[in-house]
Structure 1
Amino acid sequence: MSTPQLPLRLARPPRAGLEDFLPADAPALSLLRDWLAGGRGNLLLRGPAGCGKSHLLLGALERIAARGEQAGYLPLAALGTRADAMVEAQPALPWVAVDDLDEALIDPALQRALFALHNRVGDQGGRMLYASRGNPGDWTSLLPDLRSRLGQSVQALLQPLDEAQRREWFTRRAAALGMQLDEASLEYLFRRVGRDLPGLQRLLDRLDVDSLAAQRRLTVPFLRDFLAAGESD
């Protein structure tokens, strides 16, 4: 029996550019592009988990950086218990993006820090870009002044991808990692795995490492072995 080769590279998330977003005709994408090109005020990307809010937010930051402009990024969920301190320490740059805004619902200290940051950035002529699952206008536990500020933001609403769009998303992401799937392999896989995008991304990362280690293409036999091995872990 041959020994599997070790992967020569680590799994990596594909670039989150605005050009890669699906669906390409999403109204939220058009609104974000117009806002980046000179729209006024602040913008809130809103929609359920897995609909692409973080993708758009990171794509916007990439676009801003390509223009040579400064931007700050605050992923509140990833910052955890340090979130309020990191928000307080954030300089008033021309652009500041806040991901996972819903994290502030249960943290009064974080709410106060966000309110101060929002005002700091605005006083310097900068703009805020937020991403959240819910509508801050409905958050009765939110600091009233912060809820008022967020309510003045333009909202871009996102919807989850349908089945065909999920498959296109998965195929594109796989290709970006150097993996090709034929229709039979894609059909086999999608009959046996979940549909949420974060879960599909984790699946892609595992496939990237395991297919490289085994030096095998993403055929139905490989996927059968791959899924069976995952069930036995």
Structure 2
Amino acid sequence: MSRQLTFDLPVRMASGREDFFVTEANAMAVAEIDRWQHWPAGKLALIGDEGAGKTHLVHVWAEASGARILSAQDLLQRDPAPGHLAIEDVPAIAGDRDAETALFHWHNLVLAEGGRLLLTGTTPPALWQIALPDLASRMRGTPSVRLEEPDDMLLQAVLLKLFADRQITPQPSLLPWLLRRMDRSFAAVGRVVAALDAEALRTGRAVGPKLAADVLERFDDPAT
């Protein structure tokens, strides 16, 4: 099928271990996830910036361990249950006493029954501004590992993955061109790929440096 046909194709979000590219930027976090059965406290906080790959790595762990995945904001709608559990975006419930209480009960039950607990956030647990004292102390006592700022190898791998998720085959010269010019963050990678996809579908142009130059110029123009 020609890429220039403007169909509303679904984005296939790849989340398996084979799609997670390991470089020096994330090797330590991947190593900690791989040794999940031996976490000394039975729990781990996975921290990193927006788009750093936390959710992807959570899914890798859930597949390996059989864990459930819940967002911290959804805990109130579920009754605590034993078993391995990943709770995403814990800082989002900071100051919400009911949600913090729910997390406190989930935390205690999972660990008491021998389960493993994986928590995510953008900062270390000590900075999560949890108001409930007993929960705050448990969060501060949670070992953490960080997904570091991406290197060139990792940014290129993420670009390729996001293009593949959108069924795009970019021109070979595009990736090195982008790496020299775009903001060096995972969030920026996601924005650029989405914008290139939308512009290519709108105009029928090839996904290459010329299209990317127009898209990045629009990003830099405060009037757009």
TM-score by length of structure 2 reads: 0.77
- Percent identity (aligned): 27
- Number of matched residues? 216
2:212 maps to amino acid: L
Establish whether residue 45 from structure 1 lines up as the match of residue 34 from structure 2. Answer: no
Structure 1's 152 and 52: CA in aligned 2 closer, same or farther, altered over 3 A? same
CA distance in 1, matches of 2:80, 2:191: 33
The answer for the alignment partner of 2:76 in structure 1 is: 85
Runs of 5+ in structure 2 lacking a partner?
none
SS at match of 1:106: coil
CA distance in 2, matches of 1:158, 1:199: 16
Shift of 1:204: 1.8
Shift of 1:207: 2.9
SS at match of 1:204: helix
2:106 maps to amino acid: L
Alignment partner of 1:125 out of 102, 114, 125: 114
Establish whether residue 18 from structure 1 lines up as the match of residue 17 from structure 2. Answer: yes
SS at match of 2:148: coil
TM-score by length of structure 1 reads: 0.74
The answer for the alignment partner of 1:204 in structure 2 is: 193
Alignment partner of 2:123 out of 110, 121, 134: 134
- Describe how 1:73-222 pairs up with structure 2 within 5 A: 73-76=69-72, 79=73, 83=74, 85-86=76-77, 89-139=78-128, 141-182=130-171, 184-212=173-201, 214-222=203-211
CA distance in 2, matches of 1:43, 1:32: 9
Question: Do 2:69 and 2:86's aligned partners in 1 also have CA atoms closer than 8 Å?
Answer: yes
Question: Do 1:11 and 1:209's aligned partners in 2 also have CA atoms closer than 8 Å?
Answer: no
Question: Do 1:44 and 1:154's aligned partners in 2 also have CA atoms closer than 8 Å?
Answer: yes
The answer for the alignment partner of 1:33 in structure 2 is: 34
CA distance in 2, matches of 1:90, 1:147: 21
Shift of 1:227: 5.1
Question: Do 1:72 and 1:93's aligned partners in 2 also have CA atoms closer than 8 Å?
Answer: no
Structure 1's 140 and 169: CA in aligned 2 closer, same or farther, altered over 3 A? closer
Shift of 1:190: 4.2
Question: Do 2:100 and 2:130's aligned partners in 1 also have CA atoms closer than 8 Å?
Answer: no
